[in-house]
Amino acid sequence: MKLIELSANQKSFKTIRFNPNGLTLIVGDSSHDRKEGSSNGVGKTLALKLVHHCLGANLDTKLKVAVPDWIFSLEFSINGVDHLIERSADGKKLVLDERAIQPGKLRDWLNASGVFRLDPELPGLSFRSLLTRFGRRHLKDCIDPIVTSQESDFDGLLRSLYLLGAECRLVVDKKTYKNRIDELKKNLKSWSTDQVLRDMFRAGNQPKVRADWLDKEIPRLKADLARFRVAEDYRAIESEAGELTGNLRELEKQLAILKFQIDGIDKALANQPDIGKDELMELYSGLQDVFKPEMLAHFEAVEQFHNSLSVNRKTRLEADKTRFGSRLRELENEHKKVGAKRDQLLATLQGKRALDEYAALTQQLMRFESEREKLSEFLNFAHKLKEQEQIIKERMVEDDRKASHYADTDPLHGPAAHFSELVELLYPKTPAGIILDSNDGNNQLRYNLSVKIEGDDSDGINAARVICFDWELLLNGANHNCGFLWHDNRLFAHLDPKPRAAWFAHVMATAAVNGKQYLASLNTENYEAMKEYLGDAERCQLHDAVAVTLRGDKPENKLLGVQFGR
């Protein structure tokens, strides 16, 4: 695939005609009087974005707002066949070779165009995802040669290795296995939302222990229910029997009181008077020396009074005993009747139980059976998941060995050597290379792919890292038929003039020979600063490569010919 021309349906647009081979330069020139303008915002990066816009990229919001009705056109060739894509800034118009087409259909067409050989067994490969490495349009695309701004580490690794011609099946398998293990763990964790299991885990119980206990308890409940004899009026009979039992207890309390009273009377009747006749006489005789004789003359009367008191007391006690005895017999008869009735009611409940008790027992059995079924599902599911996880882990271990062996064969020796040679042109005697190591960590990455230049923590050397890696993909990469590489000015801004001159000298000497297009944008300062390190022929060649010069002094001298953005 090569680019032929970028244009628009507005006369103010600066049409860019790309050189069919070798270098094409877009120069951003500031005014001779710096107060009148600068090379920033003149359209150098915008030109690259418009190429992506025509090749099916997502709409650029700023472009859509600024010039929604403008139609941009990109003429290009694939395997010698010319094509034309026209797309409006707002995306409402999209035409491929004079036929309207939907964005999704255009991407499908590009995927099938043969620019990239897309392996259907490798996920995430598409024209759009791979083209980024041949035209890094975002600032974050230019930081890391392996991973661009819109990619995960896995996608960056897979796509970079694919374009390097490395083995990629193990790369995809590790992610697949890792995702499957994560999915298995997630599925197992989802059981924690089940109320039965959540309550069980909260109580500190283990599923297997609980299941074993239920295996014993469920048969016991079933046997109990099989022996169950239901009395539908069980509760009414039970209530009446309970009431009779209360009556019996009250009668027993009254009987106890009567028996206590009768026992007291018997004890009182058994006791003799406190003082007999002889004792009373002896008392009176002892008092003769104290009292006058006439005071003691009435002993007979006193004795008679004392005897009358004793007779009356005995009569009263015997009468009370007779009365209490009669009441006692009445209560004993009543107690016997109530007791017999209560016993008769209880006899009807012998071996029988209440209907609500049967229902409660049945519900408990159902709960236990439901819980056991849940536990069985969980235990079987957990067992199967662990088996699957173990199988996957065994495969991952085997793949770890394969990946380690593959990395040990130094499969990227060729690309690494070419990359090192390129770096040597820019930074002589500076160690550089592309390193592939097996990654057996618990992650999705099968390999650690590193593109290294000693000192690449420097912005300039880091930019050289990206530039040289992309060039290696263009000239010596695999699985693509992309004939162009576009580098924006931001990749050259931090390069010193000498290595920048060395780079463009190499490009001018090799790109055309290899039948490749190298498209670059430079601001005037970077363009002029490297000329002193070029020979006369190289300076002439560099000058002849300039396709368009964009200036910031006036809007009409910018790419769109109108003010765009701030």
pLDDT tens for 91-147 read: 999 999 999 999 999 999 999 999 999 999 999 999 999 999 999 999 999 999 999
d(CA 162, CA 495) in angstroms, rounded, equals 29
DSSP state of 564: -
Range of the structural domain that residue 63 is part of:
1-115+481-566
DSSP string spanning 505-520? HHHHHHTTTTT-EEEE
CA 540-545-551 angle, 5° bins: 105
Confidence at residue 16, expressed as pLDDT on a 0 to 100 scale: 98
The CB-side HSE value for 294 (13 A sphere, CA atoms) comes to 0
Residue 194 domain-assigned?
Answer: no
Q: Is 176 helix (H, G, I), strand (E, B) or coil?
A: helix
Q: What is the mean pLDDT of each run of 10 residues along the chain (566 residues)?
A: 98 97 92 48 93 96 93 97 97 97 97 96 95 95 94 97 96 93 76 57 64 80 65 55 75 82 80 60 61 56 61 77 82 80 61 56 74 71 77 92 96 97 96 96 95 93 97 97 97 95 97 96 95 96 96 92 73
Of the candidates 123, 88, 127, 130, the one whose C-alpha atom is nearest the C-alpha of residue 106 is 127
Tokens encoding 298: 């009435």
Residue 269 domain-assigned?
Answer: yes
d(CA 385, CA 337) in angstroms, rounded, equals 71
Residue 539 domain-assigned?
Answer: yes
The residue from 306, 322, 350 where one domain ends is: 350
Confidence at residue 304, expressed as pLDDT on a 0 to 100 scale: 63
Residue with tokens 């009395």: 231
- H helices of 271-349, where? 277-287, 299-348
Q: What is the CATH number of the domain that holds 488?
A: 3.40.50
521 in Cβ contact with 489 (< 8 Å):
yes
Residue 109 domain-assigned?
Answer: yes
In the chain, the N- to C-terminal Cα span, in Å, equals: 34
Confidence at residue 310, expressed as pLDDT on a 0 to 100 scale: 64
Residue 435 domain-assigned?
Answer: no
Distances (CA, A) of 517 to 94, 135, 434, 522: 26, 12, 24, 16
d(CA 259, CA 493) in angstroms, rounded, equals 121
Q: Is 454 helix (H, G, I), strand (E, B) or coil?
A: coil
The β-bridge relationship of strands 484-487 and 517-523 is parallel
Beta bridge partners of 522: 27
Confidence at residue 36, expressed as pLDDT on a 0 to 100 scale: 40
pLDDT digit string (tens) for 310-336? 667 778 878 877 887 888 888 888 888
Confidence at residue 334, expressed as pLDDT on a 0 to 100 scale: 82
Of the candidates 105, 74, 81, the one whose C-alpha atom is nearest the C-alpha of residue 8 is 74
Confidence at residue 15, expressed as pLDDT on a 0 to 100 scale: 97
Residue 146 domain-assigned?
Answer: no
The residue from 298, 322, 350 where one domain ends is: 350
Confidence at residue 11, expressed as pLDDT on a 0 to 100 scale: 95
Confidence at residue 34, expressed as pLDDT on a 0 to 100 scale: 44
Q: Is 458 helix (H, G, I), strand (E, B) or coil?
A: coil
Residue 143 domain-assigned?
Answer: no
The residue from 318, 335, 350 where one domain ends is: 350
Residue 249 domain-assigned?
Answer: yes
Number of domain units in the chain: 2
Contacts 24+ apart (CB under 8 A), 31-37: 31/551, 31/552, 31/553, 36/553, 37/551, 37/552, 37/553, 37/554
